[in-house]
Structure 1
């Protein structure tokens, strides 16, 4: 139906080859009016949180990992795994959590909102790697990346025992989002992209008259 000059993709970068125009990675961002809180890290009542689906048809590895986390840490720490809540209720959950787990789908590894929401709320986000993540966050500076389930368990254990390090990464991650990755930043990016495309087309359609 359309003849686009540029495609913006927030996730599902594996689909880029299917589009008839160049694709630019255009990620999600921090919603400062919702996922933004200043709850002291040490006063948070939930040690490990996860909010999202555990449907084994799409998230078998996630479901297995959460079950293992519950088994290994459930007796000693306060866990909240598997709630289905949104917006302000989700914000309140993350604002009260020290560690937020992100585990992408089994087949399609895509950047999701959970990473931005958790970091925006000042939690330490421990996530698996997804394409494009390295273009936004620096590992062990803004978030923690795990390689497999054993690595996930090991890193959860480490940061539970070293809360000051967890808090430091969480704080740096939140400040990084506020400085570079809010929706205000994305709006300016769209304006700049449209402006560049407009002037390129204008110059192409109306070339300068060198005879005058």
Structure 2
């Protein structure tokens, strides 16, 4: 029987403190199927941490340090140890200098980024250390709940207030999600349209997060989303089809590379044509359900946390094997 690699994961238990982000934590715990995993949640020096553990890791994985270490503990001394180490990167728009200094000072061997095009554009000098590790869904949470489709159209998540232009008297969408803002502006008075606001990063477990959130997605015939002005392959691209709901989305380069195909497993749109496409697919039930079902099958076959866990552990094993043969 093949020996499993021993992986020490430096991560905060944000699945409990920020249940909205549990889907990210599930991607990490899924590695337990393919590796022997130990978790460390507190700030500290890596040498002190290693001495306190009854565990000698083959590899150390430090979760994303962004936003003042919101999701990971602050760990000192990573650059002083010889154990191969990697890190996870989510938001590319977080302070680039801090990221670069972290990569260099800690002698990071591999950077597992959840984005590809954005990462390579922001950090071209770290291309050789880059490994794409896209988002994925937990199929026990994001699935077809077989609930009644009560909503014709659904928009969920963060949108920004709309400012009135004093000269033209028009309402202009602004903010991080201009596509969502435009959808809300145009659709808010359309019968059958529902908008559910962002629950907050520290939302309680009984809010519209995890299973409650997935069930809400399942209630819609059509769901609108986008990758923000940063063009990220956000989790919603995976979560919506996984709940057997038709996704109308502004595409980003990463999802097209991952196998998302317009008219086959989702419907591509933009701020100029989403309304017409939404009305078309609401009316044409057979086409809507065919694309919807293709999307459901596509996500549950290609983009689950088990698939991602195998990808990351296989890569780590290859890295360890390469280092051993040097």
Give the structure 1 partner of residue 132 of structure 2: 25
Structure 2 residue runs of 5 or longer lacking an equivalent are 1-104, 161-173, 199-207
CA shift, 1:12, in A, is 6.7
Structure 1 residue runs of 5 or longer lacking an equivalent are 205-212
Contact 1:9–1:23 at 8 Å: present in 2 too?
A: yes
Structure with bigger RCO (C-alpha 8 Å, 6+ apart):
1
CA shift, 1:98, in A, is 0.9
Q: Aligned equivalents of 1:186 and 1:35: distance in 2?
A: 15
Matched, 1:5 2:109: yes
For 1:63-102, list aligned pairs within 5 A.
Answer: 63-71=181-189, 74-75=190-191, 78-84=192-198, 85-102=208-225
- Alignment partner for residue 143 of structure 1, among 262, 266, 271? 266
For 1:41-120, list aligned pairs within 5 A.
Answer: 43-55=148-160, 56-71=174-189, 74-75=190-191, 78-84=192-198, 85-106=208-229, 108-120=230-242
Matched, 1:185 2:303: no
| The 10-residue stretch of structure 1 (116-125 or 20-29) with the greater mean CA deviation from structure 2 | 20-29
Contact 1:9–1:24 at 8 Å: present in 2 too?
A: yes
SS at match of 1:99: strand
Q: Aligned equivalents of 2:116 and 2:297: distance in 1?
A: 26
CA shift, 1:153, in A, is 1.3
CA shift, 1:103, in A, is 2.4
Q: Aligned equivalents of 2:136 and 2:111: distance in 1?
A: 18
Contact 1:13–1:25 at 8 Å: present in 2 too?
A: no
Q: Structure 1 residues 64, 178: CA separation in 2 closer, same or farther (over 3 Å shift)?
A: closer
Give the structure 1 partner of residue 45 of structure 2: none
Q: Write out the 4+ residue segments of structure 1 that deviate beyond 6 Å after TM superposition.
A: none
Q: Aligned equivalents of 1:200 and 1:39: distance in 2?
A: 47
Q: Deviations over 1:141-198 (max 9, x none)?
A: 111111x322211211110111111111111111111111100000000111011111
What TM-score, normalized by structure 1, do the two folds share? 0.84
More helix as a share of residues? 1
What TM-score, normalized by structure 2, do the two folds share? 0.56
Matched, 1:159 2:281: yes
Q: Structure 1 residues 112, 38: CA separation in 2 closer, same or farther (over 3 Å shift)?
A: same
CA shift, 1:9, in A, is 1.2
Aligned length: 196
